[in-house]
Structure 1
Amino acid sequence: MLAHDFGIMQETPEKGSYISYEPEKYGCISVHDDYILPICPKLGELKCFRHSLDRPGYGPAYYGITLIPPESLGGFIEATLGCPQLSELTALLTEAQRENKFVIHFGI
C-alpha cells in the first residue's frame, strides 16, 4: 500500500535537515495515496519546506519529507474537506492549526 504519513511536530523545526523516516516519533497517521493524489493540485499552491527550513517550496514533497508551516494549514484543511476518507487527516491538521504547530509529511 502506498501511503503518506502525517504528524504534528510538538517543537518548532530546528535548522538542519530532516532526512530520517520517523513516523512513530511524530505520532503519524497514514493516508492512502489514492486519497492524496486528487488534492495534489490544490496542495501544490501552499508554502512548505523540503527536508529543511532552508529549502522553501510549494506543496508536499511526494517522495520526500515536507515541513508544513502553521500558516499553510488552512489551505491543507480546505483541500481535505468533503472527502470522508481524509477525515482523520483533516482532524490532525485542524489540531495542529489550533495549536500553531508544524506538520511533518513523509511521502511515499
Structure 2
Amino acid sequence: MKKRLFYIRKVDNNMPCVAQFGIIDKFEKNKDYSSDYEPRKYNCVAIDDDILNDWWEELTFMKTYFHCYSRPNFALARYGVTIIPPESLETFYNIVSKDIRSKLSEELINLMVLLRTAISLNKYVIHYGV
C-alpha cells in the first residue's frame, strides 16, 4: 500500500493564504495527485484564496476531480488538490475574466493566461488549496 503524504503549510498572519494553479503536462488517470505537493513542477501561479470565496457559487457548477481522476466532484477542494479537466477550463476562465479585479490584478491576469494556455493545449489544470 502506497503511503500518502500530507503537507501542512504554516500560515503567516502577514501573508495571505494562496491557492495555486498549474498545467499538468502529462495527465495520468491512475495517479493520486494529492500524494505530492509539487507547485514548481507545474509552474503554478498563486492567487489569494479569499478571491475564491467571491466565485464560489459559480465554481460549484464546474466539473472537477478531487485528488485523482476516480473522484469526480464539482468546484475546488479548498484544502486539498483539485484536477480541473479541459472541458471545465472555459467555464473557469469566464468566472475569472468577469471579475472586475482581473483587469488590474497581476495574479488574476497570470491565472487567465495559464487557463488560456491550458485550453489551447487541451491540458488538465491542477489546483493546490490552502
Give the TM-score category using the shorter length: over 0.9
**For structure 1, which segment, 62-71 or 15-24, has the greater mean C-alpha deviation from structure 2 after superposition?**
15-24
Q: Deviations over 1:29-69 (max 9, x none)?
A: 11011222201211111100000100000011111000000
| AA of the residue aligned to 1:7 | G
TM-score, normalising length: structure 2: 0.79
Distance 1:92 1:76 in 2: 11
Structure 1 residue runs without a partner (length 5+)? none
* Residue aligning to 2:43: 27
Amino-acid identity (%):
36
1:77 aligns with 2:99: no
Deviating beyond 4 angstroms after TM superposition, the runs of 4 or more aligned structure 1 residues are none
Aligned partner (choices 94, 101, 104) of residue 116 of structure 2: 94
1:8 aligns with 2:23: yes
Aligned partner (choices 68, 72, 80) of residue 64 of structure 1: 80
| AA of the residue aligned to 1:92 | L
Partner SS state of residue 67, structure 1: strand
Deviation at 1:102, TM superposition (A): 0.2
| AA of the residue aligned to 1:36 | L
Aligned residues: 108
- Residues 48 and 60, structure 1, Cα contact 8 Å, conserved in 2: yes
Partner SS state of residue 87, structure 1: helix
Structure 2 residue runs without a partner (length 5+)? 1-15
Between 1 and 2, higher relative CO (CA 8 Å, sep ≥ 6) is seen in 1
**Structure (1 or 2) with the larger CA radius of gyration:** 2
